[in-house]
Amino acid sequence: GENVEQHPSTLSVQEGDSAVIKCTYSDSASNYFPWYKQELGKRPQLIIDIRSNVGEKKDQRIAVTLNKTAKHFSLHITETQPEDSAVYFCAASNMNRDDKIIFGKGTRLHILP
Amino acid sequence: GAVVSQHPSRVICKSGTSVKIECRSLDFQATTMFWYRQFPKQSLMLMATSNEGSKATYEQGVEKDKFLINHASLTLSTLTVTSAHPEDSSFYICSARDPIYEQYFGPGTRLTVT
**Eight-state DSSP code of residue B65:** T
Looking at chain B, which residue has its C-alpha nearest residue A89?
Answer: B43
How many Cα neighbours within 13 Å face the side chain of A1? Answer: 7
Nearest CB partner across the interface for B108, out of A43, A45, A89:
A43
Q: What is the pLDDT of residue A75?
A: 98
B12/B83 Cα distance (integer angstroms): 13
pLDDT bucket at B101, cuts 50 / 70 / 90: confident
A85/B111 Cα distance (integer angstroms): 26
Average pLDDT rounded to a whole number, residues A7-26 = 98
Give me chain B's average pLDDT, please: 93
Average pLDDT rounded to a whole number, residues B102-107 = 94
pLDDT bucket at B49, cuts 50 / 70 / 90: very high
Question: How many beta carbons lie within 10 A of that of residue A39, not counting itself?
Answer: 12
Query: Nearest C-alpha of chain A: how many angstroms from B44?
Result: 7
Q: What is the pLDDT of residue B52?
A: 84
Strands A10-14 vs A107-112: parallel, antiparallel or unpaired? parallel
User: Residue B47 in contact with residue B59, Cβ under 8 Å?
Assistant: yes
Contact A44 B93 (CB under 8 A): yes
Q: Collapse the DSSP code of B49 into the 3-class scheme (helix H, G, I; strand E, B; otherwise coil) and give the result.
A: strand
- A36 neighbourhood in chain B, CB within 8 Å: 105
Which secondary-structure segment (H or E) carries A35? strand A32-38
The pLDDT tens digits for A46-92 are 999 999 888 999 999 999 999 999 999 999 999 999 999 999 999 99
- A32 neighbourhood in chain B, CB within 8 Å: 101
Q: Collapse the DSSP code of A9 into the 3-class scheme (helix H, G, I; strand E, B; otherwise coil) and give the result.
A: coil
From the list A15, A35, A7, the residue with the least C-alpha distance to A108 is A7
From the list B113, B39, B11, the residue with the least C-alpha distance to A106 is B39
Q: Collapse the DSSP code of A93 into the 3-class scheme (helix H, G, I; strand E, B; otherwise coil) and give the result.
A: strand
Looking at chain B, which residue has its C-alpha nearest residue A93?
Answer: B101
Q: How far apart, in Å, do the first and last CA atoms of chain B sit?
A: 37
B28/B102 Cα distance (integer angstroms): 11
Whether the predicted pLDDT of B111 surpasses 90:
yes
